Amino acid sequence: MGNTDIFEAMANKYDTPERIKIAKIAANAIREYIVNGKDKSAIDFGCGTGLVGMELLDDFNSMMFLDTSQNMLEQINKKISHLNIPNARTICFNFETESNTDMHADYIFMVQVLLHINDIELILSKLYEVLNPGGHLLIVDFDKNEKVASDKVHNGFVQEELMKSMTKIGFKEIKSKTFYSGNKIFINQDASLFILDSKR
């Protein structure tokens, strides 16, 4: 089963109470870094069923939900039409294999997405290009966790190492902090989440 198939299968049973809770916590953490969001466009990158982006719809002028899984995006399209949301749209796109030069945003956030990405620097540099000058990339993900052993995902990140990679790409004013710890939230292990804010 390819990655895409796995995500397709997951979409239908995705919005568990635990995921909804973490999405709210992540959205609240992101909200602290948004400045004048009502005039700004945002991309929920690797949005899944859009739990985080949905929480932040009112904080931005417009929201693009971007994912590689059409099935995940269908879930969001249902939510958008059901709630009659005018300022949101979805796009199915894979930054690892495709390039798109017309896509731009003031804010990009990715929550528990980097973990699934093989070539992290490639994606971060592509996202750098998508950001409008002065725009922000916000990353929420797990701190490095030696107890997690998986060939499917990275076992979290060391914030300083991630900052170094991002500085190399050209990101500025990078700051990060751990903001949440939970039981069994990372492949059944206790783990902590950090948020990193960076600017183009």
Assign residue 71 the CATH number of its domain.
3.40.50.150
* pLDDT average, residue stretch 69-96: 93
**Apex 20 CA angle, 158 and 45, nearest 5:** 55
Asked whether the predicted pLDDT for residue 99 surpasses 70, the reply is: yes
Q: Residue 92 belongs to what domain range?
A: 3-199
CB 42 within 8 A of CB 56: yes
The pLDDT of residue 1 is: 52
Q: How confident is the model at residue 7 (pLDDT cuts 50, 70, 90)?
A: low
How many domains is the chain built from? 1
Long-range contacts of 15-19 (CB under 8 A, 24+ apart): 15/49, 15/51, 15/75, 18/185, 19/51
Q: Report residue 200 CA to chain centroid gap.
A: 17
* pLDDT average, residue stretch 117-122: 94
* pLDDT average, residue stretch 136-162: 95
The pLDDT of residue 14 is: 74
The pLDDT of residue 4 is: 66
Q: How confident is the model at residue 2 (pLDDT cuts 50, 70, 90)?
A: low
